[in-house]
Amino acid sequence: MEFEVIRSGRRTIAAEIRRNRLIIRAPWRATDEDINRFMQANRHWLETHLAQARAREQALAGVRRLTAEDVRALARRAAETIPARVAHYAPLVGVTYGRITIRNQRSRWGSCSSKGNLNFNCLLMLAPPAVLDSVVVHELCHRKEMNHSPRFYAEVLRVFPDYWAQDRWLKENGATLMAMLEE
């Protein structure tokens, strides 16, 4: 099993799978023997998750990539659609917000800054409208709770009771949408 070792000031050995590669993060003081023991003790987990990562990558290999013009068109559509959805839900959440920015991110659907500025991924335009609305409500609720506590999710569910179904859609389909942006 091939892997890369990254040493740092951490206290324990940990494994990470990034882009189909196994990375072992280890403390400076960990010996090669310590790392080998860790690998043997976690062999089943490592093999299972590496196989899953490879299968995901193969499944995403056939995904149609968006052209630069496709991305610009999505961003234009998002800039027309998302502010209206934010304006609709903000009073229901009971919050104000700052600037709305549309991005073509590879890892996030949305974010909310401490100043109340909202960022949304243009790929949301490829998701069902209810998924877009769930992300809008999620980010607006961060204006009340800048965390993912039970109180935060209670607020999300108060405004958008179907949130978990839309979140599940993103978990099941989001990687395919994100893969459309990658080179």
Q: Where are the alpha helices (DSSP H) in 18-102?
A: 32-41, 43-61, 68-93
How far is Cα 183 from Cα 180, in angstroms, rounded to an integer? 8
* Pick from 168, 116, 122: nearest CA to 142: 116
pLDDT value of residue 102: 97
5 and 38 Cβ atoms separated by less than 8 Å:
no
pLDDT value of residue 63: 75
Does position 149 have pLDDT exceeding 70, yes or no?
yes
Q: What's the mean pLDDT in 146-160?
A: 97
179: Cβ–Cβ under 8 A, 6 or more apart, which residues?
Answer: 60, 63
Q: What is the pLDDT of residues 27-82, one digit of tens each?
A: 999 999 999 999 999 999 999 988 888 877 776 676 788 899 999 999 999 999 99
Dihedral angle sign, alpha carbons of residues 140, 143, 177, 15: negative
Does position 183 have pLDDT exceeding 60, yes or no?
no
Share of the chain above pLDDT 70, in %: 97
Q: What is the pLDDT of residues 99-109, one digit of tens each?
A: 999 998 888 99
118: exposed, middle or buried (Cβ count in 10 Å: 0-12, 13-18, 19+): buried
Q: Domains in the chain, ordered, with CATH?
A: 4-61 (no CATH), 68-179 (3.30.2010.10)
pLDDT value of residue 105: 84
| pTM recorded for the entire structure | 0.73
pLDDT value of residue 182: 63
Relative to beta strand 14-18, strand 4-8 is: unpaired
